[in-house]
Amino acid sequence: MSAETEFPFLDENIVNNMKELGNGDEEFANRLLIVQLMSVYLDNLPERTQELTTAMQKKDLPVVERSAHTLKSSSRLIGLVAIAEDCQQLEDLAFSKSLNGADPIFLRIMDASKKIPEVIKNKIKSLESK
């Protein structure tokens, strides 16, 4: 069973909408843009998750809020809706100056971040093979 079926959190509607960013006649260029966005996401994911982990350990609310916001935005952009929603919840908690109830949300984010690379790499391969 692939990571995509074990952890189906890549919203294909968002990915398909990204394909339409160009003028429609440039399907290859649009797929290339998606691949680039996903590649940048993968490159930045370790730094984003480490920053969030450190902030959670230190209970640094402003950094938790900013890190969760950054990860939320980039995740949502490429269709990773489930992790984006968890990041939104964590961001909201930090914004409200409390981390009460944040640990299970944080753990879901960290769990997802371990599965994301395989899902994204598989999606990149499928986009490049078209």
For the chain, which residues make up each domain, given as ranges?
Answer: 8-128
The pLDDT of residue 33 is 82
Specify whether the CB–CB gap between 60 and 75 falls below 8 A: no
Q: How far is the C-alpha of 41 from the C-alpha of 57, rounded, in Å?
A: 24
86-105: pLDDT as tens digits? 999 999 999 999 999 999 99
- Quick check: 36 and 25 in contact, CB under 8 A? no
Which amino acid, one-letter code, is at 103? D
**Is domain 8-128 in CATH 1.20.120.160, yes or no?**
yes
pLDDT tens-digit map of 29-39:
567 788 899 99
Mean pLDDT by 10 residues, the chain (130 residues): 46 67 57 87 97 98 97 93 95 96 97 94 85
Which pLDDT does position 1 carry in this prediction? 33
Does residue 56 contact residue 71 with C-beta atoms inside 8 Å?
no
- Predicted TM-score (pTM) of the model is 0.79
Dihedral, 21, 22, 27, 30 alpha carbons, nearest 10: -60
